Structure 1
Amino acid sequence: MPSPSRQPNSQHLRSYGPADPAPIVQINWVLFDRVRNPKFRVCCFEILKEQTEHALMTLVPRMRKEIHRWQKYRVDLTSIEFYTPVTDLLAKGIRNKHSAVEDVGSGDKSHVHLLVSAEEATEEEEVMEEEVDIPGELPQVHTIYYDAFLSLVKDTDSTRAPSKRAVSKEYAKIQKRPDIAICDGYFVMTSGGRGPAVVTLAPPVQLFHPVFGKFVSDVSNPNFVPDPAVVSLIRDLTSTSAAVHTDEHVFSDQIRPQLTGLLNSVLKQVLVNEKQTADSVGLKALPRTNCSAALVLSEHKRSLGEGGCDVTRQSGLSLLNWWKQRDVAVIRDRCCCPSFIISIAGPWLCIFGAVLTSKFIVHPLTEMLSIGERSVFEESRQLRLARVFTSLRQCLAQLSSYYDTVDEGQNIPPLQPGLAHPRFFPYPTSFTDPEHGKQTFEYTGTLNVRGADVTFMAELKSGETVVVKFVSRYGLAAHRVLAAAGMAPQLHYFGDINGEDDMTDGYQEVLSHGLYEGPVKMIVMEYIQEKRFKGDVYPAEVKASIRKALDTLHAQDLVHGGLRPPNVVVTLEHKVFLIDFDWSGKEDVTTYPLGLSSKVPWSQGVGDLAPLKKEHDIGMLETMF
């Protein structure tokens, strides 16, 4: 369809066809978004005839669901606007996969009735209408991942210099585009100031390859012993970085051999595409595929903010350029391309981990480290840096071995639309069950098609469908109490993401000033097939079952803390299960997290870092169900 012209319409549907009353009316609509819907695909849904007599804004919740169903992104309810086509537009190729009504009734079904515009919701705005994808739709989910990956690697704007694109004005253009935005946390506000134009949060890189978790663990461990060879080389780096350099090329030429020695890996200045170079890259030659993998990439600036460019952004863009090259396509398409990044700006250094899934994810693994000599007492800082580079040296060796296995290509499925591929999912694929020993599983999809989702569907070798979820804080005690009572999914595993260290018995969550301190954990639990209720109207017996579950928790002085419709699963038999115990815990001990959504009608007393109360659960039950 050509780009339609439009005029605002915030009142009623434009009428088409005969005026005879009909029980069901088909609404043809087009998302007016040249990025998300470049061909202006027409979709439709059905409503009761009497609803056409109401204000259009009554369709906003339904439209939000339809946009998510067809365009696969969640929108801010307050941003949805309706327009009427200025001229009649034929609705060719309407796709209506969910109609259950054979005779749609009166009304001209050949025209577009509505043009719709909407902005993507922020993370906190997505809490009201979370939906679960059913297994039958999973091939479509994999196609979405595949299409997103292709859009990213085929972006033609990458021929421009990363140093130019990393300037804030240019970087904003990248972060506004959902097809190429980098998941590094940098975001651009919507014009209305409601939140990010594109959500740039993502699961931590530690979930996609164990080498990143090892690095984070090593550098935070005061007992980790640095390599004596690294210790002896550290002072050269601290001295060089503290000097004031007037020539960036001279600075890079001095830093590069020092990094080579510290990492025991040859770093060279190399082309990352046909025109652009990166200051230092450590490559792994892969003979079977005739490719080279970038184990580590480093960009150097003489000082922070030199030339108005953020060296951390420049480093990420340079690495992405490397992986987008056609010459490395074979190895790129087999894995999530784990790499390290070292960003250096004079006497400052930061190390990142990066992976290429359906998005390019770049996360800091250290804070911005001061590496230049500053006082007469430098040994404690030098020791810290020696630990960092010793761990990084070991991790690069592990990455080198990993890419050897990728080069061999054994047991790696092809990257194709509609097929599950390991690049899109976390690396853990097994856990130890106290009763059945080691259990392996294969990811089949995600419960929500969002870049930041950390809850996945998987299948055990036995054929059982399970849910695999990754969490930081979690109310294990509350989950176990309700699981024992048959009111929560049964747990198969709770513990370290390595799948071997089960923490179910004796687990104590540690909160410091209301904030969780500790590693990411993996949960494997049974999958519960749920029933949907039209209009989200819950029968009285369902509400009574929810109250019974709450009473069971409260009898143990436990509070759920996040009671909302997305966290209640009702089966076809109307059996009720509570899920998502991330915030659950002891009354007056456990606290709510920071950043509670302002869109949720919380019970009185609920707030950031406020202690959990039993009355909060009861209030949410009365408000939300």
Structure 2
Amino acid sequence: MTDFSLNCFVLGDDSYRPFPVKTSQDKDIFNLTRDIKACYAECDTSTIAKLELYRVDISAKKEDLANIQPPPTEDMLELIKLVGDYWTTPEEVQRDRVHILVKANIIPNSALSPAVPLGGKRPRAEEDYNEFIQDFKKARVSYCERAGRLSASVAAKHDNFIQQQRGKDYMLNGRPRKHTGPPIVLYHPVFGDFLSNLQSPEFGPALENEVFKYFSDSQDLYKAEPQSSKVNAGESRDPSTRDALHTFLGKLWKVTEEGAAPDGVFIVEDGYSAVMEMQNEIGTGGSDPSIQAAQSYLRLWKKSKLFDRCCCPTILIAIAGPWMCILGAVFLKRPIVQPLTDYLWVGSNPSKPKEIRFVARVFDCVLQAQKQLKVYYTEIASQDPRSLDPSPFPYPNHFIADEGHQVDFKYLSALEPLSLDASSHLKRSKSQQITLDKLVFLAELRNIEPSTRVVIKFVESYNSEAHGLLAKEGLAPKLLYDGTAHQSRRLGPDHYMIVMEYVNGVDLGRSDDLTLPMCVGQDVERALSILHDADIVFGDLRSPNVMLVKGADDKITGAKLIDFDWCAKHLEGRYPLDLNVNDNVTWADGVRPGELMKKEHDNVMKEYLFVLRELV
């Protein structure tokens, strides 16, 4: 029979947005109920349970939906009847009317709106998102007010910096390791481009010649940093180095803001594309120039008119004598600072005469980054500030579908609670071992009806072959985009984006059910069998990586495996070095950091999954 659409409205949904569900006259009401629940889950931030359906014919206007009253229970559609029993002439169904009133319990997804009571009224998804962004903006301002009280030079002093990092106003610069933020390459393309360009073999001789000339200034010995104007020109590293850098990087400006007077900046439309701090030699000046650059970064940006429009991507240049390190910084709830290079010897080295090419390439990457950020800040400065917000989410907002067209999406929330709380990006176990958290987000596809939710994941490695094998059999979410297959679209040399369908359910690790249907164990068994037949070890078969799939009646209908980061060939792949061996995780014998992965490990881990649960 010909398909047609019925518009549905959930009673108590104060977004007042009806949604269409495609059906046919020969479909029974029971399966129509399942379709309605699935469609609602795709277009909203909550799920619905215990559905009761009523046939109506009412206006889809907000004012009419706001005043609708639930029909008597005896008018509820019967599950065993067919759609055709209630809609005998589909061609007469009007597209601008609501045809089904849904009475249900609205259950919020905890990642989005945990405060909404079961069955209670639910804030609009857009309002939830806007409130989240406003809270994020307030947190940034509050951090600046608290952390910027000392000047940058004073705050960078070792004792003061220790005190800051031990308090609540720490920076995420990896000092100590637990204060490491998420990869900055995810928040602006300039950093991934910098790292990719650093690996490029293409390089011209012109800049190399200029850098070679600079080596003389870099390697020279200078008097202590001047405390007065009595020091003659050429006797201080600061002006000598800055003047020499002008020839191939452009003019580095000396600016002074409240609490900050860096040794040089590139500034465009009140946006800082680079901040430089230098010390005469290693150990002089009382602070690490990379830390002082981070402190100056904070104090410069908190006064910028662009602060509330972006994540403030900036290149930091730290110089101590003839040594230099390039870092990148972004500002989420607090600054995240990460090195893009090691500390480099910027001078001639007879033992490594070809090293000049790498040093020149570093300077070229700084130059290209400065140009890239100049375009970026010029563009956002020209836009209406009311249309811009600093985003707590990564910058990728689209992917290329298999058919070749671009698919845009909008982030809704972090699925992993720690993904947005960068201060906890590294988790510490009881033994002080630290492991990286995952970066997994819930998003909504744009310009697609009905609204569809997807999961966005950022990884360093991913076994799309394993994912695809299971997805084909319905034992993993459908893989919509595999960034590892598109090297030209990677987020720098070491990070990729994965997009998959959103599955209605809960992972086994968060389920309180001590009794599970037999199909859960059967699906896990079948998934492992498929992988092992392909000589693939899953590797990380713990309860958080087993998704319990729920049907329209909210009952568990099976299981899917998620998280294919570790999957590798039997006796070829190795477990990650940061594998958590101490945080109450029971691993199969032989599972250790860096050890070979074996199929038998999966089989043992499968038994551990259900040791405290009963399959019936």
What is the TM-score normalised by the length of structure 2? Answer: 0.69
Give runs of aligned pairs for residues 69-468 of structure 1, distance below 5 A: 97=115, 141-142=132-133, 144-155=135-146, 157-178=147-168, 180-187=169-176, 199-221=178-200, 223-226=201-204, 228=206, 230-249=207-226, 250-264=236-250, 266-271=251-256, 273-284=257-268, 286=269, 292-325=270-303, 328=304, 330-375=305-350, 379-409=353-383, 413-415=387-389, 423-435=391-403, 437-450=405-418, 451=422, 452=425, 453-461=438-446, 462=448, 463-468=451-456
The Cα of 1:577 is off from its aligned counterpart by 1.1
Match of 2:538 in 1: 560
**2:272 is paired with a residue of what secondary structure?**
strand
Structure 2 residue matching 1:268: 3-state secondary structure? coil
Which residue of the other structure, out of 593, 601, 604, is the alignment partner of 1:616?
601
Secondary structure of 2:579's partner?
coil
2:559 is matched with which residue: 561, 576, 583? Answer: 576
Pairwise CA distance, 1:97: 4.3
Alpha-carbon distance, 1:442 to partner: 1.4
Structure 1's 428 and 472: CA in aligned 2 closer, same or farther, altered over 3 A? same
Whether the 8 Å contact between 2:258 and 2:299 is mirrored in structure 1 is: no
Residue 280 of structure 1 deviates from its aligned partner by 0.9
Alignment check: 8 A CA contact 2:260 2:300 kept: no
User: Deviation at 1:145?
Assistant: 3.0
8 Å contact kept, 1:428–1:497: no
Counterpart-to-counterpart distance in 1, 2:536 and 2:485: 26
The share of aligned pairs that are identical, in percent, is: 31
In 2, distance between residues paired with 1:97 and 1:578?
29
Which residue in 1 is equivalent to 2:464? 476
CA distance 1:337–1:99, shift in 2 (3 Å) = closer
Task: Give the whole-Å Cα distance in 1 for the aligned partners of 2:572 and 2:386.
Answer: 47
Structure with larger Rg:
2
- Secondary structure of 1:612 counterpart: coil
Distance in 2 between residues matched to 1:279 and 1:246, nearest whole Å: 17
Gaps of 5+ in 1: 1-68, 73-95, 103-133, 188-195, 287-291, 416-420, 504-516
Structure 1 residues 277 and 241 mapped into 2: Cα distance closer, same or farther (>3 Å)?
same
Contact 2:153/2:260 (<8 A) preserved = no
Counterparts of 1:393 and 1:480 in 2: how far apart (Å)?
Answer: 41
**Distance in 2 of aligned mates of 1:238 and 1:553:** 56
Letter matched to residue 185 of structure 1: G
1:46-103 deviation per Cα after TM superposition (whole angstroms, max 9, x unaligned)? xxxxxxxxxxxxxxxxxxxxxxx89x9xxxxxxxxxxxxxxxxxxxxxxx9477699x
Letter in 2 for 1:310: D
Q: Is the 8 A contact 1:224 1:387 kept in 2?
A: no
Tell me how far 1:335 sits from its aligned partner. 0.8
Contact 1:226 1:390 in 2 (8 A): no
Aligned 8 A contact 1:141 1:449 in 2 = no
Q: Give the superposition deviation at 1:301.
A: 0.7
Letter aligned with residue 201 of structure 1: T
Q: Relative to 1, partners in 2 of residues 1:427 and 1:312: Cα closer, same or farther, differing over 3 Å?
A: same
Return the alpha-carbon distance in structure 1 between the equivalents of residues 411 and 385 of structure 2. Answer: 15
Deviation for aligned residue 1:469: 0.9
Cα shift at 1:470: 1.0
**Residue 383 and residue 312 in structure 1: after superposition, are their counterparts in 2 closer, same or farther (change >3 A)?**
same
Structure 2 residue 526 is matched with structure 1 residue 548:
yes
Give the Å deviation of 1:539.
0.8
- Alpha-carbon deviation of 1:443? 1.4
Letter in 1 for 2:293: S
Deviations 1:16-74 (A, max 9, x none): xxxxxxxxxxxxxxxxxxxxxxxxxxxxxxxxxxxxxxxxxxxxxxxxxxxxx89x9xx
Q: CA deviation at 1:616?
A: 1.4
Q: Displacement, 1:518?
A: 5.2
Structure 1 position 305, deviation (Å): 2.5
Aligned in 2, Cα 1:455/1:400: closer, same or farther, shift over 3 Å? Answer: same
2: CA distance, partners of 1:536 / 1:200? 36
* Cα offset, 1:170, TM superposition: 1.9
Structure 1 residues 231 and 101 mapped into 2: Cα distance closer, same or farther (>3 Å)?
closer
> In structure 2, do the counterparts of structure 1 residues 135 and 550 end up closer, same or farther at CA, with 3 Å as the change threshold?
farther
- 1:496–1:207: structure 2 CA closer, same or farther, 3 Å change rule? farther
SS in structure 1 of the partner of residue 602 of structure 2: helix
Identify the residue that residue 520 of structure 1 maps to in structure 2: 495
SS in 1 for 2:541: coil
> Alpha carbons of 1:317 and 1:496: their partners in 2 closer, same or farther (altered >3 Å)?
farther
- Which SS does the other structure have where 1:277 is aligned? coil
Amino acid in structure 1 at the alignment position of 2:260:
Q
Could you tell me how far apart the structure 2 residues matched to 1:411 and 1:140 are?
18
Q: CA–CA distance in 2 between the matches of 1:481 and 1:309?
A: 54
In the alignment, the residues of structure 2 paired with residue 578 and residue 269 of structure 1 have an alpha-carbon distance, to the nearest angstrom, of 55
Whole-Å Cα distance in 1 between the matches of residues 129 and 465 of structure 2?
32
SS at structure 2 position matched to 1:424: coil
AA in 1 matched with 2:568: G
Deviation string 1:536-567 (CA, Å, 9 cap, x unpaired) is 53514223322221122112111111111211
CA contact (8 A) 2:171 2:336 kept: yes
For 1:583 and 1:144, how far apart are their aligned partners in 2?
Answer: 35
Contact 2:536 2:569 survives alignment (8 Å): yes
How do 1:43-54 and structure 2 match up within 5 A? none
TM-score (norm 1): 0.68
CA 1:297/1:550 → structure 2, altered by over 3 Å: closer, same or farther? same
What CA distance in whole angstroms lies between the structure 2 residues aligned with 1:501 and 1:97?
38
Shift of 1:137: 6.6
- 8 Å contact kept, 1:355–1:361: yes
Shift of residue 500 of structure 1? Answer: 6.6
Rounded to whole Å, the distance in 2 between the matches of 1:236 and 1:219 is: 21
Q: Secondary structure at the match of 1:306?
A: coil
| CA 1:534–1:217: 2 relative to 1, 3 Å | closer
Tell me which amino acid in the other structure corresponds to 1:494: D
Question: Take 2:283 and 2:202, find their aligned partners in 1: how far apart are those partners?
Answer: 33
Local SS of the residue matching 1:174: helix
Distance 1:141 1:341 in 2: 30
CA offset at residue 306 of structure 1? 2.0
Q: Which runs of 5+ in 2 are unaligned?
A: 1-109, 227-235, 426-437, 611-616
| Separation in structure 2 between the aligned mates of residue 211 and residue 98 of structure 1, nearest angstrom | 39
1:590 paired with 2:573, answer: yes
CA distance in 2, matches of 1:237, 1:412: 44
Alpha-carbon distance change, 496 to 587 in structure 1, aligned in 2, over 3 angstroms? closer
User: Would the alpha carbon gap of residues 468 and 262 (structure 1) be closer, same or farther in structure 2, given more than 3 Å must change?
Assistant: same
